[in-house]
Amino acid sequence: YLSATTTPEKNRGYAYDLLGFLGLNTQSETVVPIFLHHLQQEDHNDSNLHSLLESLHATQLSLNSHLDQLLFYCFDERGLIRCSALRLLARYTDHHDKITATLVEVLEFHYDEWDLRYAVESLQIIQPNRWSTYLETVKARVDDAYAKERLEDY
């Protein structure tokens, strides 16, 4: 992977992949703060930000900080970033009310079926007994026929 002509951005992308691999295989939570610390630094680089978010998700480790940054990415115009952030919300061990409110907003104003899918999946994990109630509430509020049809699949 690495060579004399590899850019620093590419090297950071490789480092995120490696950290994700280490976090997954060792289940060491020491990689989580490293990933979260670099979120803002990688905001301008779609590939690295996506790699960072996906590697963090792959570790299957619990999260408890930097929630506001991830909530911001749930409404990002970049589809891969948005979906990765939606999937990561299910890893948070607290702040479930704030996360639920965001997921309900995503359900109501989703960009595409992938937003809908990942928002429902995260909602099912953090609100296992009430997710369908939230979904029914959103279905009742949505006016757009196409959006309502997509919501019916859940």
Q: pLDDT (tens digit, 9 = 90+) per residue, 26-77?
A: 999 999 999 999 998 999 999 999 999 999 999 999 999 899 999 999 999 9
For residue 107, CA distances in Å to 3, 48, 70, 71, 140 come to: 44, 27, 16, 14, 12
Kindly state the average pLDDT of the residues 7-29: 92
Nearest to 101 by CA among 69, 137, 57, 146: 137
Under the banding of pLDDT at 50, 70 and 90, the label for residue 102 is: very high
